[in-house]
């Protein structure tokens, strides 16, 4: 699949549910209205959609959400998708999770061919973590991370940088990841969904990096994980540190991915509203021709990029939908 700007689309992120057992302040409002269950695709339908994308050239699949591991029977989707790894059509099957359900599922994920996962954890302080996630329990998440490590999964910790909240914890988090043997990625908060004033929480990573370089020695790496992060190696810990900077450094020129929601809506760009409905063509016919044509048409509309801005003149959401719809 090649888009109008010559970029090859080889990475599909799938939000399997918009629901979550946390309510992170930058992601959701406290009283979210979730999709009616009737609108959500079955796991068999999601499998059929993912398989269509793999047939058309997707090599990497990331399961996300909402919290993917709270969807009932989610392991049956991983089990089915693992056949695409076995056949060699898919190179990587992976997951972004808040970690709360990992004690239950870590070994099964490994059985399904998952080799590395991203776990979101923005603070090492239990009270702050609870404040940030509203409903989360840091102890449980850390138990989940340990279970994942013990099961043999490589772990990357995602940290959203938030001004006056965890800016003083970034250095301890880098050291903690170093001690535990995890890579880490810092993420700028993106203006998706109405959650109140984002200007207060927005912390440009250019500023964070400058400050970190007073303490740590960074070497730029060519390494690409398939996502938008740019990586450095931290000499003092020997681990990788990624920077996802949609605001301070737009990374759209190398974009290789599209995002599918649990209702079968395909977003060709995280930062634009244009989308394609794949549920209708999926259900229109048992054969895949109609679906394949709809996917081709969607890819032909992939836009050049996003244009997020957060400042006093742009303090509201750039897009109405929250991050849990498209999964980040
Ligand atoms: N629930 C899972 C988790 O938290 O890892 C997967 C879905 S979550 C939407 C995916 C990632 O997006 C998480 O690392 C989260 O911190 C990040 N995220 C959520 N809202 C964001 C926002 N407005 N700006 C930047 N990152 C955001
Ligand atoms: Fe849930 Fe992940 Fe959003 Fe937090 S960031 S509310 S864990 S979907």
**DSSP state for residue 117 in the 8-state scheme:** E
Residue 81 DSSP SS3: helix
Q: Counting atoms of ligand 1 from 1, which one is nearest the CA of 198?
A: 23
Exposure pattern of 258-273 as b/e (b: 16+ CB <10 Å)?
bbbbbbbbbbbbbbbe
Share above pLDDT 70 across residues of the chain, in percent, rounded to a whole number: 92
| CATH 3.20.20.70 matches 11-154+252-326 | yes
What is the rounded average pLDDT for all residues in the chain? 91
Q: Counting atoms of ligand 1 from 1, which one is nearest the CA of 188?
A: 25
Query: Stretch 202-219: mean pLDDT, rounded?
Result: 94
Q: Per-residue pLDDT tens for 45-76?
A: 999 999 999 999 999 999 999 999 999 999 99
Q: Per-residue pLDDT tens for 253-280?
A: 888 999 999 999 999 988 888 899 999 9
Q: Which long-range contacts (CB under 8 A, 24 or more apart) does 79-88 make?
A: 79/112, 80/43, 80/47, 81/47, 81/50, 81/112, 82/111, 82/112, 82/113, 84/50, 84/51, 84/54, 85/113, 86/113
Ligand 1 neighbourhood includes 270 CB (under 6 angstroms)? no
Tokens of 323: 């991050």
12 DSSP β-pair partners: 61, 258
Ligand 2 pocket check: which of 17, 28, 145 to mutate, most ligand atoms within 8 Å of Cβ?
28
* Lowest pLDDT segment from 14-28, 79-93, 127-141, 311-325: 311-325
Residue 327 CA to ligand 1 center (angstroms) comes to 7
Ligand 2 pocket check: which of 17, 19, 324 to mutate, most ligand atoms within 8 Å of Cβ?
324
Ligand 1 neighbourhood includes 187 CB (under 6 angstroms)? yes
Q: Where exactly are the structural domains of the chain?
A: 11-154+252-326
Length of the chain: 328
Q: Which ligand is nearest to the CA of 118?
A: 1
Ligand 2 neighbourhood includes 28 CB (under 6 angstroms)? yes
pTM of this prediction?
0.94
Look at ligand 1, atom 12, and give the residue with the nearest C-alpha.
328
CB atoms within 10 A of CB 312: 7
Q: With the CA atoms of 325, 136, 96 and 166 taken in that order, what torsion angle do they form, in degrees rounded to the nearest 10?
A: 100
Sign of the torsion angle spanned by Cα atoms 219, 225, 229, 234: negative
Ligand 2 neighbourhood includes 198 CB (under 6 angstroms)? no
d(CA 49, CA 39): 16
Q: Which ligand is nearest to the CA of 159?
A: 1
d(CA 252, CA 149): 32
What is the model's pLDDT at position 102? Answer: 98
| Residue indicated by tokens 């398989």 | 51
Across the beta sheet with 265-267, the strand order is 218-220, 230-234, 240-244, 183-188, 154-161, 116-120, 92-97, 60-64, 11-15, 257-260, 265-267, 275-277
Q: Per-residue pLDDT tens for 104-120?
A: 999 999 999 999 999 99
Residue 24 CA to ligand 2 center (angstroms) comes to 5
Measuring CA to CA, how many Å separate 66 from each of 18, 33, 130, 191?
Answer: 4, 13, 18, 17
Ligand 1 neighbourhood includes 25 CB (under 6 angstroms)? no
**CB of 157 closer than 8 Å to CB of 169:** no
Say how many Å lie between the first and final Cα of the chain, rounded.
Answer: 21
Q: Counting atoms of ligand 2 from 1, which one is nearest the CA of 133?
A: 4
Measuring CA to CA, how many Å separate 44 from each of 49, 74, 75, 78?
Answer: 9, 11, 12, 11
């Amino acid at each position: 699949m090649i888009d109008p700007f010559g970029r090859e689309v080889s990475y599909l992120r799938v939000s399997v549910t918009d629901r979550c057992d946390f309510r992170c302040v930058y992601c959701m409002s406290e009283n979210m209205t979730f999709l009616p269950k009737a609108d959500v695709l079955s796991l068999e339908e999601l499998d059929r959609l993912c398989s269509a994308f793999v047939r058309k050239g997707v090599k990497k699949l990331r399961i996300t959400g909402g919290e993917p591991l709270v969807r009932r029977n989610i392991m049956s989707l991983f089990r089915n998708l693992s056949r695409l790894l076995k056949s060699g059509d898919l190179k990587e099957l992976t997951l972004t999770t808040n970690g709360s359900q990992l004690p239950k599922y870590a070994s099964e994920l490994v059985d399904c061919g998952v080799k590395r996962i991203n776990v979101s954890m923005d603070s090492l302080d239990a009270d702050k973590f609870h404040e940030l996630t509203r409903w989360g329990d840091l102890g449980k998440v850390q138990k989940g991370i340990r279970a994942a490590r013990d099961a043999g999964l490589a772990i990357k910790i995602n940290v959203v940088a938030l001004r006056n909240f965890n800016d003083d914890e970034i250095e301890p988090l880098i050291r903690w990841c170093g001690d535990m043997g995890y890579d880490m990625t810092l993420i700028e908060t993106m203006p998706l969904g109405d959650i109140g004033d984002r200007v207060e929480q927005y912390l440009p990573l250019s500023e964070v990096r400058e400050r970190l370089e007073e303490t740590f020695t960074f070497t730029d790496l060519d390494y690409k994980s398939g996502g938008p992060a740019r990586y450095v190696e931290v000499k003092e810990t020997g681990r990788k540190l990624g920077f996802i900077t949609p605001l301070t450094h737009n990374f759209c020129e190398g974009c290789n991915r599209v995002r599918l929601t649990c209702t079968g809506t395909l977003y060709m760009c995280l930062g634009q509203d244009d989308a394609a409905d794949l549920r209708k063509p999926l259900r229109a016919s048992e054969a895949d021709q109609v679906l394949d044509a709809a996917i081709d048409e969607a890819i032909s509309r992939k836009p050049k990029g996003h244009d997020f801005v957060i400042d006093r003149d742009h303090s509201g959401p750039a897009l109405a939908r929250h991050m849990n719809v498209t999964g980040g």
